[in-house]
Amino acid sequence: MLLCYVAISPLKSQHFLSHRPLALAASLFLLLRGSVTAQTPPAAPSPETQKRPAGTAIPAPAPPAISYSAVHVDGPYIAMTFDDGPSEKLTLQLLDILAADHIHATFFVIGQNAERAPEILQRAVREGHEIGNHSWSHPAFAKMSDAAVRREIQKTDDAIRAAIGHSPVLLRPPYGSITIRQKQWIHSEFGYRIILWDVDPLDWKRPGPTIVMNRIVRQTRPGSIILSHDIHPGTIKAMPETFDQLQARGFKFVTVSELIAMGKPMPPQEPRAESPSPVSSPAASPAMSVPPAASPAPSLTSP
Ligand SMILES: [Zn+2]
């Protein structure tokens, strides 16, 4: 799992790598093989295979991934995601825009906002959108105790369930801040998949609707998970044209869970000499981002 992070953010890892020659060698290997879009939990031997006499073990299928920055899909499918709401005014405007364009999106809601406006979550679900957990108060998980993280997740899960009648199945950690170990225990305790992103327009810096739109349209690839925030007026203003441009390019919008369900195994690849250029894109987001899915990764091999 460590190697995923190293491979995902090679430019930001120079300092880290300089102290770990083995990690460097391994990460270079991964870089040569392409980018990683999903991570799997460690493959624990099942009791069945342990008991079987040597030589008769049946290889188990790869376990499902627990963490996604993008999904390897066959068609032009993408998932639009909106974080940090619901916002009384802006989320309702956005729902109108989405309805007009017949687009389904995924909302990663803050628990305390969800508790204040359960009717917005209800409307979103009624109109075909998905709700995910984005913590109760938006802290950086990687710096927190397990007990504190658990409280943030549980309270939000409770608020979402109270609003829409069921728990979400997706979690997006605020700032993308989460350790590999946290991903694993959160997945086994809550059953959540951890959803990051591969397209980041940095809309929280409020660069203006045109720049938000241009960044999204430029970075989006089949299987992309697009990050944005339904608490910034400029983001909402950017959406009608963003949706038009993406649809004009043939992209089709699905929820994150639908995108994951469309995921195909990565074809095996020979090591190659070049790594994809988007790694160094100025718009690339923090450590968790991966380059767009244009360069299929060699499957979910990371332990
Ligand atoms: Zn957020």
Asked if the structure places residue 173 within a domain, the reply is yes
Task: Give pLDDT tens digits for 204-250.
Answer: 999 999 999 999 999 999 999 999 999 999 999 999 999 999 999 99
**Average model confidence (pLDDT) for the chain?**
79
Which residues are annotated as catalytic?
83, 229
**Helix 146-164 with 118-126: angle, nearest 10 deg:** 70
Look up the domain containing 127 and give its range: 1-39+65-303
Query: What residues contact residue 99 under an 8 Å CB cut-off, 6+ apart?
Result: 127
Residue 49 falls within a domain, yes or no?
A: no
Q: Which of 256, 263, 266 is nearest to 225 (CA)?
A: 256
Residue 234 lies in a domain: yes
Q: Is residue 255, in this structure, part of any structural domain at all?
A: yes
C-alpha 114 to ligand 1 mean position (Å): 13
The number of distinct structural domains making up the chain is 1
CA of 134 to the centre of ligand 1 (A): 7
Read off the CATH number of the domain in which 260 is found.
3.20.20.370
Q: Would 211 be classed as within a structural domain?
A: yes
The Å distance, Cα 217 to ligand 1 centre, comes to 21
Answer whether residue 7 is part of any domain: yes
Q: Is 191 a domain residue?
A: yes
What pLDDT shows up at residue 266? 81
Residues of the chain with confidence (pLDDT) below 50: 1-36, 42-55, 273-303
Rounded CA separation 246/250 (Å):
7
Transcribe 168-225 into DSSP letters: -SEE--GGG---HHHHHHHHHHH-PEEE--SB---GGG---HHHHHHHHHHH--TTBE
* Residue 124 placed within a domain: yes
